[in-house]
């Protein structure tokens, strides 16, 4: 087997590409302000989901489980909007991406790693300061580590959503096509 062969695009890759490039929800992420709003909403929904889950695990309250179920659907919709804004940059397999998308994916991963380094430092310092302030650290370890894990998992998605470029309006595309025909 040759090592320089490109993997073939499978039916799965074609379906995922089609799903990630659907234009029905394009109005939700057409501008940078809308993408920032969706990413902000996703962060808030993630924080609410983490809080509900941790409270249902650590506090043993059943209502928190229902809160988590209520947060799940809007969280999934927001995730889909961000994936649509990035055209599946983080969901598609690497061999299904073009060269520009691969470079963008690497850029997002590098920036996410940098942001997470500072977030981990802040979590470690914050937990340490809480211990010095007399807070029982053993009770903080699991919630802090779980929260940082979830943020680490989602940080590339959030950054990709924030870094995505605006779509060209379809009107501009049709005007360019018609202006060439008159020449």
**Domain layout of the chain by residue ranges:** 12-173
Q: What is the pLDDT at residue 48?
A: 94
Spatial contact of 154 and 46, defined as CB atoms under 8 Å apart: yes
Q: What is the pLDDT at residue 171?
A: 52
Question: What is d(CA 183, CA 175) in angstroms, rounded to the nearest whole number?
Answer: 13
How confident is the model over 21-60, as pLDDT tens digits?
A: 778 777 788 788 999 999 999 999 999 999 988 888 777 6
- Considering the chain, what is the average pLDDT of its residues? 83
């Amino acid at each position: 087997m040759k090592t320089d062969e490109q993997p073939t695009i499978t039916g799965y890759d074609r379906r995922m590409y089609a799903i990630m490039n659907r234009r029905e929800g394009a109005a939700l992420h057409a501008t940078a302000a809308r993408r920032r709003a969706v990413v902000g909403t996703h962060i808030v929904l993630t924080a609410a989901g983490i809080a509900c889950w941790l409270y249902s695990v650590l506090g043993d309250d059943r209502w928190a489980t229902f809160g988590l179920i209520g947060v799940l659907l809007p969280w999934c919709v927001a995730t889909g909007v961000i994936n649509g804004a990035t055209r599946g940059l983080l969901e598609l397999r690497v061999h299904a991406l073009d060269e520009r998308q691969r470079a963008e994916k690497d850029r997002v991963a590098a920036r996410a790693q940098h942001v997470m380094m500072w977030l981990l430092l802040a979590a470690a310092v914050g937990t340490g300061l809480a211990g010095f302030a007399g807070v029982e650290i053993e009770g903080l370890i699991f919630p802090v580590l779980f929260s940082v894990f979830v943020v680490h998992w989602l940080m590339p998605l959030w950054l990709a959503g924030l870094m995505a470029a605006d779509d060209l309006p379809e009107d501009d595309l049709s005007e360019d096509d018609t202006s060439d025909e008159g020449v």
